[in-house]
Structure formats: structure tokens, C-alpha cells
Structure 1
Amino acid sequence: MKAIYPGSFDPITNGHIDIINRASLFFDEMIVAVMVNSKKQYMFTTEERKKLIEMEFSDNEKIKVVTFQGLLVDYLKQNNIKAIVKGLRTVTDYGYEAQMALTNKNLYEDAETFFIHSTEEYSFISSSLVKEIYTYGGSLSGYIPKHVIKALEEKIL
């Protein structure tokens, strides 16, 4: 069975990577969907975000990376995908993600959302936090992969 893990991934964090790796143990194919949200301003372009994720999972044939703009359920229907994977860090995440899961189910009755709790080690990491730490010169070791740190440094320069 295929599953999709949608997100902005601006940039991908070790928390995202942990959820993807853990979810890939339960599905035949994990599709990481780099989504475009017109309400967000991104540090990395869609293609840059896709490339950074592909670099991380280049040795895992079960994980595919795609880009998509529009409703997630449209992508699900077009690609015969029924499983959505979402990571949860906090109760606040659950409130938002539960609403999205119910909306997706309403729009596409075959869609099922599977929630995976983050491990304690990554429960506080977010892409927004990573960008803020980087902006103020803090260390990102343990938050994002080394190749993503390098890409951030190149982006800022």
C-alpha cells in the first residue's frame, strides 16, 4: 500500500526524517509530497526543497519525493493513494491535523489519515524554529541534516 506524507518542508528537519523513516516500515511506498501553500513565504524554492529531501533518502527505494500544488485529495485520487501520514508533536498539532483529516475524509471518503507521534528527541523541532535559530546564529546540529545546513548557509550568502 502507498502512503503520502505531505508538508512544506522548508527546510526538512530531523523530526520529518524520523516520521518518514518510521512510516516507511509500514507501507510499501512512501511518497513525500512537497506542497505549495500560497499563504506561506518560503526560504527554499519547491524544487530546492524536493532536492534536499531526495538527497536524504537517496538510498531508500521505498521513498519517492514529488511536488504538488492544490488539494491533497486531488493528488490522492489521481494516484490511487488512500493513506495519509501526519506527524504529531503537540496537542496543538493534533487539533489542526484532526480537522484536516476529517476534511480530507469528507472530500475523499477512501482517505485515511495515520498519525505518528514524534519521538521525544524531536518533539520540539519545527522548520520555523530552525530558520529562527539559524537567523540568530545558533547551532542547528541535531535539528537538520548536514547537507541542509550547508544549503541554508549557501542560501543566506
Structure 2
Amino acid sequence: MTCLYPGTFDPITNGHLDVIIRALKIFDKVVVAIAKSEHKSPYFSLEKRKELAILATKNLENVEIISFENLLVDLAKQLRINTVIRGLRAVSDFEYELQIGYANNALWKEFETVYLMPNLKNAFISSSIVRSIISHGGDVSNLVPHEILAFLKD
């Protein structure tokens, strides 16, 4: 069984990797779907985010990285994948994710959302925290996969 793991991944973090690794214990394959998300004004281009995700997951089997610009439900139907995974770090994440999960299910009754929690050491990591630290010249080496560090300094 295959699942989708959608997000902006701006950039991919150790928290994201943690969720991918946990998902691989449940699913045969994880398709990481990187959203264009122009309304979020991503720091990195879609192409760069995809490149970083490919680098970060290169040692994981059964992980595919794709990008998309349409509704997640439409992508899921197109790929014939009816299960999506989402990471939850805090109660505030749950409220937002629950709304999105209900909305997606209203659009496609077969659509299921599985929520996974990252390891406690990764629970505070978010892409926005990483971007903020990078923009101030800080060290993010313990927050992101080491494979992408050099690319973040550019």
C-alpha cells in the first residue's frame, strides 16, 4: 500500500524525515508530494525544494519525490492513492490538520488521513524555524538532513 505525504517542505527537515521513516513502517511506499503553494510565498523555489527532498531521502528505499500544483485530492485520485499522512507536532497542528482532513474527505469519500507524530527530539522543528535561523546566519545542522546543509548555505 502506498501513501502520500504532502507539504511545502520549505525546506525538508529532520522532522519530515522522521515522519517519512515512521510511514515506511506502515506503508510499502511513501510518495512525498511537494506543493507549489505560492500563497505561502515559499523561501525556496519548487524545483529547489524537490531537489533538496531528493537529496535528503536518497538513502531511503520506497520513497518517491514529486511536485504538484493542483488540489491534493485531485493528485491522489490521479495517482490512485487514497491515503495521506500528516505529521502532528502539537495540539495547534491537530486543529488545522483535522479541518484539512475533513475537507479532503468531503471532496473524496475514499480519502483517508493518517496522523503521525515525530520523535520528541524533532517535535519542535518546523520549516519556518529553519528558514528564520538560516536568514539570521544561524546553525541548522541539527535540524535538517546533513545531505542538504551545503545547499542551504547558498
Same fold flag (TM > 0.5):
yes
Deviation at 1:139, TM superposition (A): 1.5
Q: Contact 1:87 / 1:118 at 8 angstroms: preserved in 2? A: yes
TM-score by length of 2: 0.96
Q: Contact 1:11 / 1:148 at 8 angstroms: preserved in 2? A: no
Aligned equivalents of 2:104, 2:5: Cα separation in 1: 14
Higher deviation after alignment, 68-77 or 57-66? 57-66
Deviation at 1:44, TM superposition (A): 1.5
Deviation at 1:137, TM superposition (A): 2.2
Higher deviation after alignment, 61-70 or 85-94? 61-70
Aligned equivalents of 1:58, 1:148: Cα separation in 2: 11
Identity of aligned residues (%): 38
Which position in structure 1 is the counterpart of 2:13? Answer: 13
Deviation at 1:69, TM superposition (A): 0.6
- 1:24 and 2:24 equivalent? yes
Aligned equivalents of 1:133, 1:61: Cα separation in 2: 30
Alignment of 1:99-118 (within 5 A): 99-118=99-118
Alpha-carbon RMSD across the aligned residues, in angstroms, is 1.0
Deviation at 1:59, TM superposition (A): 2.9
Aligned positions, number: 154
Gaps of 5+ in 2: none
Q: Contact 1:76 / 1:82 at 8 angstroms: preserved in 2? A: yes
Aligned partner of 1:64: which letter?
E
Which position in structure 1 is the counterpart of 2:81? Answer: 81
Q: Contact 2:55 / 2:148 at 8 angstroms: preserved in 1? A: no
Deviation at 1:123, TM superposition (A): 0.8
- 1:137 and 2:137 equivalent? yes
- 1:45 and 2:45 equivalent? yes
TM-score by length of 1: 0.94
Aligned partner of 1:81: which letter?
I
* 3-state SS of paired residue (1:148): helix
Aligned equivalents of 1:40, 1:102: Cα separation in 2: 21
Deviation at 1:43, TM superposition (A): 2.0
* 3-state SS of paired residue (1:115): strand
Gaps of 5+ in 1: none
Q: Contact 2:88 / 2:117 at 8 angstroms: preserved in 1? A: yes
